[in-house]
């Protein structure tokens, strides 16, 4: 496993060691002791989530706040997505900055997103299966987020606007307010 910190402190790209042969491949998708040693982050995940989405779907930008804040370890089981993390930690030097990466079943990359970040993804393939671990349980009362199309962020989701599929809930999220 290799770990590389992104431009956002505490947000890491994780590349597993993949072993291939004529039958296919194998890799360890999570190892708590290696994860904690390499990231210095807590690897006590308590909930796994999975979604299936079609091309153009944009999910986000979501987060949990307060005592229900969640760190996430995300990956793609089938297809390809553009994964986006936005630093919303008020005291962070990179507050309001974002990072994106293509995650796919082909590259097996994972992204660790610490607490205090909003998170979302867009589906770039015909379909995608997206999986993520959370270090805290989902709490509907702690839901928060920001608009996917906030001009203060200017995120290129890799999908033409006319092809984007969004939930009503995501369209009602507020815009980012500057520090």
CATH number assigned to the domain comprising residue 148: 2.60.120.10
- For residue 178, being part of any structural domain is answered with no
Q: What is the mean pLDDT of the chain?
A: 96
Q: Does 62 qualify as catalytic in the annotation?
A: yes
Which of 25, 55, 132, 137 is catalytic? The answer is: 132
The reported pLDDT for the residue numbered 178 is 56
Which of 25, 62, 112, 138 is catalytic? The answer is: 62
Q: Tell me, what DSSP letter sits at residue 57?
A: B
Nearest CA-CA partner of 59 in 80, 78, 84, 86? 84
Q: Which residues pair with 133 in a beta bridge?
A: 48, 73
Q: Does 25 qualify as catalytic in the annotation?
A: no
Q: What is the pLDDT of residues 151-165, one digit of tens each?
A: 999 999 999 999 999
The reported pLDDT for the residue numbered 177 is 77
Q: What is the pLDDT of residues 63-110, one digit of tens each?
A: 999 999 999 999 999 999 999 999 999 999 999 999 999 999 999 999
DSSP 69-137: ---EEEEEEESEEEEEEEE--TT-TTTT-EEEEEEETTT--EEEE-TTEEEEEEE-SSEEEEEEEESS-
Number of domains in the chain: 1
d(CA 149, CA 174): 10
**117 preceded by cis ω (within 30°)?**
no
- For residue 160, being part of any structural domain is answered with yes
Q: What is the pLDDT of residues 5-46, one digit of tens each?
A: 999 999 999 999 999 999 999 999 999 999 999 999 999 999
- For residue 176, being part of any structural domain is answered with no
Look up residue 10 and give its two tokens.
């505490």
């Amino acid at each position: 496993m290799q770990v590389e910190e992104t431009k956002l402190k505490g947000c890491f790209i994780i590349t597993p060691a993949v072993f291939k042969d004529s039958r296919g491949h194998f890799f360890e998708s999570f190892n708590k002791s290696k994860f904690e040693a390499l990231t210095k982050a807590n690897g006590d995940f308590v909930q796994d989530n999975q979604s299936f989405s079609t091309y153009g779907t944009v999910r986000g930008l979501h987060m949990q706040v307060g005592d229900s804040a969640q760190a996430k370890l995300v990956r793609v089981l089938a297809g390809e997505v553009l994964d986006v993390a936005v630093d919303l930690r008020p005291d962070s030097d990179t507050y309001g900055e974002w990072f994106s990466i293509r995650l796919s079943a082909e590259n097996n990359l994972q992204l660790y997103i610490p607490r205090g970040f909003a998170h979302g993804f867009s589906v770039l393939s015909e379909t995608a299966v997206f999986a993520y671990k959370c270090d805290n349980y989902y709490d509907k009362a702690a839901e928060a987020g920001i608009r996917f199309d906030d001009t203060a962020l200017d995120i290129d989701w890799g999908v033409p606007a006319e092809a984007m599929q969004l939930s009503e809930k995501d369209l009602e999220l507020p815009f980012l307010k500057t520090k």
